[in-house]
Amino acid sequence: DNKLFAFHQAKSEEQLATEKAWLDAERLWLVHRMGFSACRRLPEDSSAGGGGDSDTSKIRIRLEATGEVLQVDDDDVEKANPPQFDRAEDLAHLRYLNESSVLHTLRQRYGSNLIHTYAGGSMVVVNPMAPLAIHSEKVVHMFRGCKSEDMPPHIYSLAQSAYHGMLSSRRDHSIVLLGRSGSGKTTNFKHILHYLVLAAGTVNKVVTVEKLNAISTVLEAFGNSRTVLNTNATRFTQILSLDFDQSGQI
């Protein structure tokens, strides 16, 4: 047990040393017209001479991709997060919360097919543009009955949290999906409904996944069209209300 404790203690100290080295290196993001680039802040150049006329709003940085040294405005850089925040499940947990770090985290997760990310009480879903094997009845049962803190980011965890909140508070709950055309609002709307039907159950099968799919087919036949951004754009607003009995069934 003592050896195990010493191992964990040494690992913790190593992590602290890594984090300190990262912070000492002053890793930053340079924000520019094309997005943002990783860079490192350089110490002030004392050989510039004079010293009195130096512009305190300017800093020297080295781009990590090319090694190029630039002098930029202090407002053009944002702080980068230490490596332990890579692929963070909740953007609210980032040590430095800025636009570049948020986009970097979302891009990291998207590259690992992790399309869902918590943002405090909300969730960001990035359209994978291809089917992923993360929506099924088997996955539904993995989230069923779980509490928010026990669930990884997923559209099912959002549905489960709303369902659990409704049961515990005995008050109505709503889920609102926002985003541009083609971002996946309609698809995730279906995932939420399918989850609630399978996880909560329905009285006398008044609502089933098959019935929901049939409703969607009819609505989309009349209300969808092709646009520049989306080949199957939903051109109407969907508002659906589910009624639950005292036992939590639809």
The whole-number pLDDT of residue 56 equals 75
The whole-number pLDDT of residue 1 equals 53
Q: Say yes or no to pLDDT of 50 above 50.
A: no
The whole-number pLDDT of residue 15 equals 75
Q: Say yes or no to pLDDT of 2 above 60.
A: no
Over the range 197-232, which residues count as b (16 or more CB within 10 Å of their CB) and which as e? bbbbebeeeebeeeebeeebeeebeeebeeeeebee
d(CA 131, CA 143): 20
180 is in an annotated binding site: yes
Q: Is 59 exposed, middle or buried (0-12, 13-18, 19+ CB in 10 A)?
A: buried
Backbone angles phi, psi at 219, to 5 degrees: -60, -45
**pLDDT class of 49 with cuts at 50, 70, 90:** very low
The whole-number pLDDT of residue 76 equals 96
Helices (H) and strands (E) in the chain, counts: 6, 9
The whole-number pLDDT of residue 44 equals 80
d(CA 197, CA 210): 11
182 is in an annotated binding site: yes
Q: Say yes or no to pLDDT of 33 above 80.
A: yes
183 is in an annotated binding site: yes
Least Cα distance to 28 among 20, 19, 36, 17 occurs for 36
Average pLDDT estimate for 190-219: 96
119-177 residue pLDDT tens: 999 999 999 988 899 999 999 999 999 999 999 999 999 999 999 999 999 999 999 99
Backbone angles phi, psi at 100, to 5 degrees: -65, -45
**Interacting residues of 143 by C-beta distance below 8 A, sequence separation 6+:** 151, 154, 156, 157, 159, 160, 195, 199
The whole-number pLDDT of residue 83 equals 92
d(CA 246, CA 217): 31
The whole-number pLDDT of residue 13 equals 81
Tell me whether strands 77-79 and 27-32 are parallel, antiparallel or unpaired. antiparallel
Average pLDDT estimate for 177-206: 96
The whole-number pLDDT of residue 53 equals 54
The whole-number pLDDT of residue 250 equals 97
d(CA 225, CA 126): 22
Between 16-25, 135-144, 189-198, 204-213, the lowest mean confidence (pLDDT) is in: 16-25
d(CA 56, CA 58): 5
The whole-number pLDDT of residue 4 equals 47
70-111 residue pLDDT tens: 999 999 999 999 999 999 999 999 999 999 999 999 999 999
Tokens of 77: 């850089």
CB 53 within 8 A of CB 47: no
**CA dihedral for 36, 37, 43, 45, sign (positive or negative):** negative
Neighbours of 175 (CB within 10 A): 16
CB 100 within 8 A of CB 81: no
185 is in an annotated binding site: yes
The whole-number pLDDT of residue 46 equals 57
**Interacting residues of 85 by C-beta distance below 8 A, sequence separation 6+:** 93, 94, 95, 105
Q: Say yes or no to pLDDT of 20 above 90.
A: no
87 is in an annotated binding site: no
Measure Cα distances from 132 to 1, 77, 114, 220 in Å: 43, 36, 10, 22
Q: Model's pTM, two decimal places?
A: 0.86
The whole-number pLDDT of residue 11 equals 62
